[in-house]
Chains A and B, each alone.
Chain A
Amino acid sequence: MILDVRNISTVFHLRRADIHAVKDVSFQLFKGETLGIVGESGSGKTVLCQSILGLLPKPPVKTSGHAYFDNTDLLDCDSKKLRQIRGNQISMIFQDPSSAFNPYLRLSEQLIEPLISHGYKSRKNALEKARIILSETKIPQPQKRMYQYPHEFSGGMLQRAMIGMALITNPRIVIADEPTTALDVTVQARILQLMKRLQNQYSLSIIFITHNLGIVAGFCDRVVVMYAGVVLETASTADLFNHTAHPYTKALIKSVPSIDNSKDSLYMIPGMPPDPAARLSGCPFEPRCRYRTDKCLKSENRLRETGRNHFTSCIRVLESELSL
């Protein structure tokens, strides 16, 4: 186990209300595996990862819980210690490559920044490392390309460079926050291939945030399903798709447009995600769930094992009243 996240809750203390963005989330990340975190927009995926890395502004945001990385609790580190881990041990890949680079600096300058910031002394060696990592990410003629500016690259190229930048310090964990959302499908496939190859090469653990179940199926080893800031189900990818336990996961899989039944209108989960300012008891999916009973509102929302390494929070599935 490389990262052990326990009971993380993140609250935004805003003037009009407290927003509970992440509620009591736990998960583990193992060496060399890819963990997918899926959920709709606003389900707390990104906030969860930012909380772990301490990237949220402190006064309005309060995070509780633990995140053990190498026996250090990331949530208990001071900002200086945390900065040494960020970008060095744990890197991030961002969603929109075209806005994730500073338009005024050459790519080479930005690629070596993580190295320089983490105590790398020789600029020349850093540049050489940047060239090597760019050729690893299959950017043609990296020795020339790296001296260009971000606006001289295409989006797919920049995402490759971004992956390179995240890997240049040889991190152990990479958190990829919807890295392919801004790219078209063919480029997306190549970026995923690249990540897979580099993952094996550098024995990386990847946390892959996405709302694309197709990518989850093809890319992730294990999946965490989030909804309204809580985890509803975790399972290996195969289990999640073959033995879906939670009604929400079921509905999510059903909502993926399929080429087979194109004549029907697309399936849609009725209702809206709950208002994050309202603190609800019981299962957060209850209002929209077609299998709901009175029991769901009273149930304690906690993950329990239904199969081997397969956890769900649905009380009806756990009590074997329901089988999906």
Chain B
Amino acid sequence: MHGESQYRVPLIRGDKTYHQITEDICAPIEGRAGKLWYLAFTVSAVAALWGVGCISYLLGTGVGVWGLNRTVNWAWDITNFVWWVGIGHAGTLISAVLLLFRQRWRMAVNRSAEAMTIFAVVCAGMFPLIHMGRLWVGYWTLPLPNQFGSLWVNFNSPLLWDVFAISTYFSVSLGFWYTGLIPDFATVRDRQVIPWMKKIYQITSFGWSGTAKQWQRFEEVSLVLAGMSTPLVLSVHTIVSFDFATSVIPGWHTTIFPPYFVAGAIFSGFAMVLTLLLIMRKVLKLEDYITVGHVESMNKIIIVTGSIVGVAYITELFVAYYSGVQYEQYAFLNRATGPLAWSYWIMMGCNVISPQVFWIKKLRTNLTFTFFMSLVVNVGMWFERFVIIVTSLHRDYLPSSWTMFYPTWVDVGVYVGTMGIFFTLFLLFSRTFPVIAMAELKSILKISGEGWKKRQQEHEHEHDHH
């Protein structure tokens, strides 16, 4: 009845009991943070504060403090926006799509990947708002009755679809994540001895009791939410790509964009998950739960999505050549050989060539190498957006208005600031939340725990007929 094939590598290493899982995962919440955590937190918090400072300066002075000009009127702001939204996609892919596919390995990584999604979308969402220059009119993007002659928002615009897509994505991800957290908060609550901590987890666990009826509904809710989040996550980056694809700029006006952006988003998201988890499993001593097998599975997704992205780049080049439209042809020629060619070749190198090394099993199971590659992919995917956005704009239809784009310190500061905010939030999460979905993991212990699998094998040897 229970058990999976002995050929499958156990997902939980060591001979764990249910109680041991609780102990291991609650340990970071109940214990004290090490020096390394404080160091990382200080660095991130300083970067975050610098970002807040840069944003305040930007809002106080105007978007002119960015390096934008008349020709390149969109650059790092939208690059960062797309980059962060893309990173978020991995969390939803793990928690929703892999749930529908009944992939058990997701259970060790979904909680932190979803947290990453939420923090990444927070960072992404800031860019459209600050790009308005006047943050206080941000609510103008909403379809509210108003006194400007009852002029409504324009539902024909992909930028408005983005408002709906990003806010739906953020709030639904948050709801999905929190619903999953409730039983785990209850576990933390029931073992607390410090009164104020018990009180906090009493509130956050919403009075969860774990009755059969609650679990039955919980499972149904998880399944239906996964079913809704799957098309949602695909729609989000599709709509982000519409921001470009529905325009008439050569290099943007491309029907391949939606699938190409979604694949790229998952590709970069998994890279960020790996960057975070490879550190987290070491620092929080979760090596038994986030194993080399988990890392390998994620690297396989990187091969698939990275290859889709590579094929998309090459298709784009071919179609530009084959279209016979000289503007389109020039946009791509300029990307590969123009003054910003260095960014194009960074993108090609990091996203097309480098992930192919993961075909070699030795490399995709090597953690140090994976960590290095995850950074390479993150850099490559940032440059992908930069290439699409800036190289398509800086040499437009009219050669007399051709320019270059140079970022200012405010461009850099805002970007570094969002990284600071992201890592600060993630570091806080790692010390106050159960970073692995304990309840889910316990439900697969007897199926995929190393100790249980060994016992099952011995049992099978005893009964040869089995």
Specify whether A and B are partners.
no
